[in-house]
């Protein structure tokens, strides 16, 4: 009997193993980026396009690609429909999927994939879990999104989702509002439409958008969540929804809903900035700013709300109406902020840059009470970020806990209260980001060019250069001891936070100029890619009669010169370490 039992056990094990072998391995999530914009025309079709079968790299001739082209746009080349992952320069694109055919010098056309948010929802929804899909709708600032419907601008519903497969609506890179009205993608209810976005799919994410004028009719809201769990609303700018005759909210938690509102600014509104109006509605509000409601700042009503690191001030009926939920590290202008670390009886004018009607700027001013007074939520933020599929984050700031401007909080020991984090930049550092045009003193106000930073920096200081493609008109001459570092996402506050492999910083000589001329002692260059540099000596980098040079973690590719295709150090001394030289040419 014992032998027979062992035989039966062995057979059972073999049958189970066989059955398991027949189950296909879990597939990676497919992330589909699709652009949404109000421009229904052709964005670009000048010149010609070339892409090799199986490649994701498209090159163009006879055209400079408009800067408004980007992630999610559709490109049709000789009847093959493809979608763009990134614009990599004036004449290069990367595709989301490899081309199925060869196209050499072909005519093409680039358009937005969809011209309304609802069209994107209707076309991309489905059983995202079974089909292993995550759908990212990328909104462009072609003009305000509006609708003729009095009920809603868009309804996100009809999909089967889970935490890894969901609908994600976001602003395009460079098209976020930066916490100021009219500077990014706008959804405008024109005081006619009741709801901006009505969310009815679990785990939906909406971020980086401005919503205004959603106030017509009873129980209006810029964003309403109904019968949906795990919804995340991040970096939204919601305003101008006050309507004397009706009850309206910025964000509404409806029946059997669960949402998180994080790093949002809500102002000039109706009955509440955030409300859980119905039973079985739950909301968590983190690092948000609510000002100027006709009613309450945050109104728990019949649901349950948890609030942390949030400013609610200047709201007519009261700032926080919370009985069942919890609070900590909040600010109110009345006595309603409660819990550990909360501050009460503070004036809005003392906290914000401007509360002037029509010119509101609810960023924190220097010396505001909320600076460094919040709770550090870094561990929670890291956990959230690690759960997102990496492919969904392509082209996005690699932040863990971004404020209303997309600025990273994670490097701060003490967080600020409210949607804005005042940046404490390291000393002796200048910042470069091609998308900015500031004074170089922070990521938010970075210089647009490396040349500006070199001119401003004092001997011994550092220059941090955000990832991207920097096309040079002429060589950059460095005539003082400086350190240049690349590989930043544009939010780091410590050098060790950068990732030069994942976020390359490319200096492109375009075949007409050398990239760097090192004309001083003790210059350090770290984490840069030198491409297509051209000169008589040192196609990418040239040094003469200097010492103490350190070049490390760099890549030299496709540079050319008479001598030293990539690098020429003449009568100079230094160290080149952990660098790659590929496809450089020298005629001597």
The answer on 330 and 190 residing in a single domain is yes
Residue 343 lies in a domain: yes
The answer on 534 and 501 residing in a single domain is yes
Instruction: Match 């924190």 to its residue by tokens.
Output: 364
Q: How many Å from the N-terminal Cα to the C-terminal Cα in the chain?
A: 87
Residue 535 and residue 542 in contact, taking contact as beta carbons nearer than 8 Å: yes
Reported residue count of the chain is 588
Alpha helices, H only, 419-460 = 450-456
Residue 378 lies in a domain: no
Total number of domains in the chain: 3
Helices (H) and strands (E) in the chain, counts: 4, 50
The pLDDT of residue 22: 39
The CATH number assigned to the domain holding 448 equals 2.160.20.10
Residue 125 lies in a domain: no
Query: What is the rounded CA–CA span in Å between residue 8 and residue 13?
Result: 9
Domain termination site, one of 369, 389, 416: 369
- Diameter of the chain measured on Cα atoms: 91
Given a cut of 50, the residues of the chain with pLDDT beneath it are 1-26, 395-398
User: pLDDT tens digits, residue range 452-473?
Assistant: 999 999 999 999 999 999 999 9
Residue 192 and residue 216 in contact, taking contact as beta carbons nearer than 8 Å: yes
The pLDDT of residue 390: 63
The answer on 166 and 72 residing in a single domain is no
User: pLDDT tens digits, residue range 209-238?
Assistant: 999 999 877 789 999 999 999 999 999 999
Query: What is the rounded CA–CA span in Å between residue 431 and residue 453?
Result: 7
- Both tokens of residue 434? 């091609």
Angle at 280 between CA 135 and CA 252, to 5 degrees: 60
Query: What is the rounded CA–CA span in Å between residue 293 and residue 320?
Result: 11
The CATH number assigned to the domain holding 98 equals 2.40.30
Domain termination site, one of 326, 346, 369: 369
Residue 23 lies in a domain: no
Query: What is the rounded CA–CA span in Å between residue 461 and residue 478?
Result: 12
Query: What is the rounded CA–CA span in Å between residue 111 and residue 77?
Result: 12
Residue 279 and residue 300 in contact, taking contact as beta carbons nearer than 8 Å: no
Residue 457 lies in a domain: yes
- CB neighbour list of residue 10: distance below 8 Å, 6 or more residues apart: none
Residue 57 lies in a domain: yes
- The burial of 461, by beta-carbon neighbours within 10 Å (0-12 exposed, 13-18 middle, 19 or more buried), is given as middle
The pLDDT of residue 408: 79
Residue 147 and residue 179 in contact, taking contact as beta carbons nearer than 8 Å: no
Going by C-alpha positions, the residue among 132, 123, 119 that lies closest to residue 161 is 132
The answer on 247 and 210 residing in a single domain is yes
Instruction: Match 């309603």 to its residue by tokens.
Output: 336
Domain termination site, one of 334, 353, 369: 369
Residue 119 lies in a domain: no
Residue 450 and residue 515 in contact, taking contact as beta carbons nearer than 8 Å: no
The answer on 552 and 484 residing in a single domain is yes
User: pLDDT tens digits, residue range 34-58?
Assistant: 999 999 999 999 999 999 999 999 9
User: pLDDT tens digits, residue range 84-142?
Assistant: 999 998 999 999 999 999 999 999 999 999 999 999 999 999 999 999 999 999 999 99
Angle at 541 between CA 538 and CA 544, to 5 degrees: 75
The pLDDT of residue 51: 97
What letters, b where the CB count within 10 A reaches 16 and e where it falls short, cover 385-397?
eeebeebbeebbb
Residue 134, strand partner residues: 31
The answer on 299 and 198 residing in a single domain is yes
Long-range CB contact pairs, 67-71, < 8 A, 24+: 68/43, 68/140, 68/142, 69/43, 69/44, 69/93, 69/110, 70/35, 70/138, 70/140, 70/172, 70/173, 70/174, 70/395, 71/33, 71/35, 71/138, 71/172, 71/173, 71/394, 71/395
DSSP 8-state code for residue 121? H
Residue 541 and residue 567 in contact, taking contact as beta carbons nearer than 8 Å: yes
Domain with 163 in it: 132-369
Residue 573 lies in a domain: yes
Q: What is the pTM of this model?
A: 0.77
């Amino acid at each position: 009997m014992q032998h027979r039992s062992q035989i039966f056990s062995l057979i059972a094990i073999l049958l189970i193993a066989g059955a398991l072998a027949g189950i296909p391995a879990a597939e990676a999530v497919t992330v589909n980026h699709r652009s949404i914009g109000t421009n229904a025309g052709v964005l670009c079709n000048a010149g010609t396009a070339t892409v090799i079968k199986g490649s994701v790299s498209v090159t163009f001739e006879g055209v400079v690609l408009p800067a408004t082209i980007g992630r999610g746009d559709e490109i049709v080349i000789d009847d093959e429909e493809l979608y763009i992952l990134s614009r990599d320069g004036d004449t290069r694109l990367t595709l989301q999927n490899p081309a199925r055919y060869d196209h050499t010098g072909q005519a093409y056309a680039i358009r937005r994939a969809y011209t309304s948010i609802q069209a994107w929802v209707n076309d991309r929804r489905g059983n995202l879990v079974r089909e292993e899909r995550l759908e990212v709708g990328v909104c462009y600032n072609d003009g305000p999104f509006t609708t003729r419907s009095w009920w809603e601008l868009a309804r996100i519903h009809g999909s089967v989702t889970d935490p890894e497969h969901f609908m994600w609506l976001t602003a395009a890179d460079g098209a976020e509002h930066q916490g100021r009205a009219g500077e990014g993608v706008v959804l405008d209810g024109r005081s006619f439409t009741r709801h901006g976005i009505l969310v009815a799919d679990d785990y939906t994410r909406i971020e980086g958008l401005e919503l205004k004028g959603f106030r017509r009719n009873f129980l209006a809201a810029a964003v309403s969540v109904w019968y949906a769990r795990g919804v995340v609303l991040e970096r939204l700018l919601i305003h101008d929804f006050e309507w004397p005759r009706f009850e309206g909210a910025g964000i509404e938690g409806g029946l059997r809903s669960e949402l998180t509102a994080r790093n949002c600014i809500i102002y000039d509104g109706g009955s509440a900035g955030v409300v859980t109006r119905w039973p079985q509605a739950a909301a968590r509000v983190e690092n948000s700013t609510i000002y100027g409601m006709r009613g309450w700042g945050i109104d728990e009503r019949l649901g349950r709300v948890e609030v942390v690191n949030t400013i609610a001030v200047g709201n007519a009926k009261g700032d926080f109406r919370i009985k069942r939920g919890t609070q900590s590290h909040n600010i109110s202008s009345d006595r309603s902020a409660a819990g550990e670390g909360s501050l009460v009886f503070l004036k809005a004018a003392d906290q914000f840059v401007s509360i002037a009607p029509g010119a509101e700027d609810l960023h924190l001013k220097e010396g505001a009470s909320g600076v460094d007074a919040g709770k550090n939520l870094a561990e929670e933020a890291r956990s959230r970020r690690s759960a997102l599929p990496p492919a969904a984050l392509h082209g996005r700031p690699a932040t863990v806990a971004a404020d209303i401007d997309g600025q990273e909080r994670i490097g701060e020991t003490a967080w600020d209260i409210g949607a804005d984090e005042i940046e404490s930049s390291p000393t002796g550092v200048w910042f470069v980001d091609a998308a900015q045009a500031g004074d170089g003193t922070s990521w938010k106000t970075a210089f647009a060019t490396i040349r500006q930073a070199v001119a401003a920096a004092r001997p011994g200081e550092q220059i941090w250069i955000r990832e991207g493609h920097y096309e040079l008109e002429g060589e950059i001459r460095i005539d003082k001891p400086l350190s240049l570092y690349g590989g930043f996402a544009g939010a780091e506050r410590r050098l060790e936070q950068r990732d030069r492999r994942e976020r390359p910083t490319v200096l492109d000589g375009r075949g007409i100029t050398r990239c760097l001329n090192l004309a001083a002692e003790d210059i350090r260059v770290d984490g840069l890619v030198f491409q297509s540099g051209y000169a008589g000596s040192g196609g990418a980098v040239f040094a003469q009669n200097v010492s103490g040079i350190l070049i490390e973690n760099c890549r030299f590719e496709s540079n050319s010169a008479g001598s030293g295709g990539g690098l020429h150090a003449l009568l100079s001394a230094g160290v080149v370490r952990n660098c790659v030289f590929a496809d450089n040419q020298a005629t001597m």
